Amino acid sequence: MNRKIDERIKEEYEAEIKGKFKIYLGNKLYAKGKNMWTRYFASSLVEFVILSTSPLLSSSGEYYGATNMRTRGLSGGGAKAGNDTTTPTTPDMTDLANKIDISPSTSRRVILKSSDYKEYKAKFENSWNPGVIPPQTIGEFGIYFSLTDDSWESPYNNPSFGSFLGGVFDGYSWPLLQRGSRLGARIASADGAFDPIDYTSEEALILEWYVTIKF
C-alpha cells in the first residue's frame, strides 16, 4: 500500500531539528528520548537567520555583510540536573523547576556530519563523577546556552541586533538584547521523558545530549 502523499513529503522534504538525550548511571544506559525546547533557543535561531541574510550598518555608517563579522555562540551546552518530578516543561521556562547548581565534572563537545551532507549533529557529553551530586532524586536536566532574552516585540521590522544564538560582533556591544546563560532545552520526568532517578551518588551520572539538523 502506498503511503499518503503528505507523509512522503514530510519525510523527504521537511527539515528537522531534534534534540535527543541518553542518561547513564555508570556504564549502564538508564533512559533515552527527546528533550523539550524553550523560546530562547528558538528565538536565537530566528535572530541568526535574520542577521545572516541582511546587510548590517557599522558605527561609521557603512554596510557590511555577514561574511565580515565574527560571531560567538552556541557556547557551552552546559548541563545542570534538578529535583523536580511534577512540573511539565513550557516554552517560557527560564530555568529548571528545582535546580541542583552543581556543574558537571567533565564536559565534551563533538560535531558530526553525514557523507551526503544532509545531516549534521552536535553531541554534548556531561558527566558528574561519583560523590559530586549528593544522594537525592533526579527528575530533570537543563541545557544552557549563551542566548538572548527574547525581549523584542512582534513583528520587529528590520532588526539591528546581533545574534548567533546570542553571539556578538567584534568591537561592538548590542544593548537591545543582551546575551546570557539561559535555559535552551529541558529533559524532564514530568514530561514522561524518563522515570525519576533515585540517585545514590555511588556511580557517575552521565548525560549525553544531541542536536540533529536533517534535511
CA distance linking residue 159 with residue 26, whole number of Å: 47
Nearest partner of 148 among 180, 174, 184, 185, judged by Cα: 180
Q: Which residue is it, cell 529533559?
A: 187
Q: Where are the domains of the chain?
A: 17-54+66-214
Q: Which residue is it, cell 538508564?
A: 30
Residue 92 is predicted with a pLDDT of 92
Q: In whole angstroms, what separates CA 182 from the centre of its chain?
A: 9
pLDDT in tens, the chain (215 residues): 566 766 655 566 667 888 999 999 999 999 999 999 999 888 888 877 777 665 544 444 333 333 332 233 333 458 999 999 999 999 999 999 999 999 999 999 999 999 999 889 999 999 999 999 999 999 999 999 888 777 778 887 777 655 444 333 333 334 344 556 889 999 999 999 999 999 999 999 999 999 998 88
Other residues' Cβ atoms within 10 Å of the Cβ of residue 76: 15
Residue 203 is predicted with a pLDDT of 97
CA distance linking residue 162 with residue 170, whole number of Å: 11
Torsion, Cα 149 152 156 158, to 10 degrees, reads -60
CA distance linking residue 87 with residue 169, whole number of Å: 37
CA distance linking residue 209 with residue 36, whole number of Å: 12
**Contact in structure between 202 and 130 (CB atoms under 8 Å):** yes
Residue 44 is predicted with a pLDDT of 80
Residue 15 is predicted with a pLDDT of 72
